């Protein structure tokens, strides 16, 4: 088995590892596609401490060998692999409460990710993909499952106005999901390009770098401001802006994929007595996310996605890191592995 391993910051090496045969509850998948996300680039440049691990946040492929006989799961099927594992060691895991694991292990960070030829995974982490879900769409299952988790935690109801701070691919997907469930997203971004893609994706209220967000949100909501605010960690927008859009006693959720670090003043949140939530991925929603894609709840046509081939991965990481330094963002990149 071979893959691109991060040996130390800025240094990827194509390394071979011992071939593993599936046994017990473990299956083997021949990987065909992987997605490079901002988290991968932050691991690459050392901002997220990672060493000796194959990068690649998300992956899918063809089921190669399995010892289990689960619904529809058989050799040759196109399969998505959930990119996280419960630790098995924390208090909640030991109680069998795996959904509340306090130390979830993440692919490409705590164990080998998907920029490689084969993945070995527990069979309960595998999901057969329906034909109506394309490879590229499937690479965003993790985004959608985080969006569903956010929706659930903020307890969003039909007709709710929701401020969405940040309009990268995740922000865009979350806003589309809000519309699907008949809530009203107001998307805010400092990035002109994201304004255009959000509007093209069917989002009506999109505020850009030249708008007065507080004033516009006041006007849109008839002065009530928004009860629910989602702040996406990768957006490069001061958190204090997000607090200013919330109604008194409202709720704000922090989320995002990057794990970027930063400092926050909670003064306004305290004044307004906001409920503050921090949302991480929740593996319970993978199957629901696949169904949402199959039901065309999300329009992927206007997301910003690059593509590349496996052999150009080291070069691509170099370029993405330069892009990040220059612009503070990257385009998520689909890698064709075979
Ligand atoms: Zn645990």
pLDDT in tens, 13-31: 999 887 777 777 889 999 9
Q: Are strands 161-165 and 184-188 parallel, antiparallel or unpaired?
A: parallel
- What are the φ and ψ backbone dihedral angles of 172, each rounded to 5 degrees? -65, -45
Q: State in Å: Cα 146 to ligand 1 middle.
A: 19
CA distance 61 to 19: 17
For the domain spanning 2-140+303-336, the CATH number is 3.90.180.10
Q: State in Å: Cα 106 to ligand 1 middle.
A: 12
Q: State in Å: Cα 131 to ligand 1 middle.
A: 34
What is the DSSP code (8-state) at residue 130? P
Residue 90 has a pLDDT of 95
Q: State in Å: Cα 124 to ligand 1 middle.
A: 16
- For the chain, where are the alpha helices, taking DSSP H only? 38-44, 91-94, 135-138, 141-153, 169-180, 192-200, 213-220, 239-244, 267-271, 286-294, 313-327
Q: State in Å: Cα 24 to ligand 1 middle.
A: 21
Burial class (CB in 10 A: 0-12, 13-18, 19+), 317: buried
Q: How confident is the model at residue 68 (pLDDT cuts 50, 70, 90)?
A: low
Q: State in Å: Cα 149 to ligand 1 middle.
A: 18
Do 54 and 5 form a contact (C-beta atoms < 8 A)?
yes
Exposure class string for 216-248: b at 16+ Cβ within 10 A, else e = ebeebbeeebbbbbbbbbbbebebebbbbbbbe
Flag whether pLDDT at 140 surpasses 90.
yes
Q: State in Å: Cα 110 to ligand 1 middle.
A: 13
Q: State in Å: Cα 58 to ligand 1 middle.
A: 21
Flag whether pLDDT at 172 surpasses 60.
yes
Q: Which tens digits make up the pLDDT trace of 286-316?
A: 999 999 999 999 999 999 999 999 999 999 9
Q: Which tens digits make up the pLDDT trace of 265-292?
A: 888 888 999 988 888 777 789 999 999 9
Across the chain, mean pLDDT equals 92
Q: How many CB atoms lie within 10 A of CB 25?
A: 13
Question: For the chain, what are the domain ranges?
Answer: 2-140+303-336, 144-278
Residue 74 has a pLDDT of 82
So what's the architecture of 144-278 in CATH? Answer: 3-Layer(aba) Sandwich (3.40)
H/E run at residue 278: strand 275-278
Q: State in Å: Cα 95 to ligand 1 middle.
A: 9
Q: State in Å: Cα 84 to ligand 1 middle.
A: 11
Q: State in Å: Cα 309 to ligand 1 middle.
A: 35
Q: State in Å: Cα 61 to ligand 1 middle.
A: 27
Q: State in Å: Cα 96 to ligand 1 middle.
A: 9
Q: Do domains 2-140+303-336 and 144-278 have the same CATH topology?
A: no
* Residue tagged 């507080």 (tokens): 214
The pTM is what?
0.93
């Amino acid at each position: 088995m071979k893959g691109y391993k991060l040996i130390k910051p800025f240094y990827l090496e194509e390394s071979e590892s011992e071939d593993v045969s599936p046994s017990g509850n473990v299956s083997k998948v021949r990987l065909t596609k992987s997605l490079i996300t901002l988290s991968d680039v932050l691991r690459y440049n050392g901002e997220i401490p990672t060493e000796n691990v194959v990068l690649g946040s998300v992956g899918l492929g063809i089921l190669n060998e399995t010892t289990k006989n689960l619904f529809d799961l058989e050799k040759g099927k196109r399969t998505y692999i959930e990119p996280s594992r419960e630790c098995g060691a924390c208090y909640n895991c030991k109680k069998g409460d795996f959904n509340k694991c306090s130390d979830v292990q993440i692919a490409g960070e705590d164990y080998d990710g998907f920029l490689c030829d084969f993945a070995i995974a527990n069979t309960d982490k595998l999901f057969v993909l329906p034909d109506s879900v394309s490879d590229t769409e499937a690479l965003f299952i993790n985004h959608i499952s985080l969006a569903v988790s956010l929706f659930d935690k903020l307890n969003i109801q039909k007709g709710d106005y929701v401020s969405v701070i940040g309009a990268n691919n995740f922000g865009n997907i979350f806003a589309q999901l809000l519309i699907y469930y008949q809530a009203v997203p107001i998307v805010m971004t400092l990035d002109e390009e994201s304004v255009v893609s959000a509007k093209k994706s069917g989002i009506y209220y999109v505020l850009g770098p030249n708008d007065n967000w507080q004033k516009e949100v006041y006007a849109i909501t008839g002065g009530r401001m928004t009860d629910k605010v989602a702040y996406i960690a990768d957006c490069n927008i001061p958190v204090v802006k997000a607090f200013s859009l919330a109604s008194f006693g409202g709720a704000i959720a922090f989320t995002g994929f990057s794990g970027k670090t930063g400092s926050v003043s909670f003064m306004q949140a305290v004044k307004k007595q906001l409920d503050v939530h921090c949302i991480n991925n929740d593996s319970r929603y993978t199957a629901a996310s696949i169904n949402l894609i199959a039901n065309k709840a999300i329009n992927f046509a206007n997301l910003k996605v690059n593509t590349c081939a496996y052999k150009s991965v080291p070069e691509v990481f170099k370029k993405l890191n330069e892009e990040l330094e220059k612009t503070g963002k990257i385009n998520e990149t689909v890698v064709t592995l075979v």
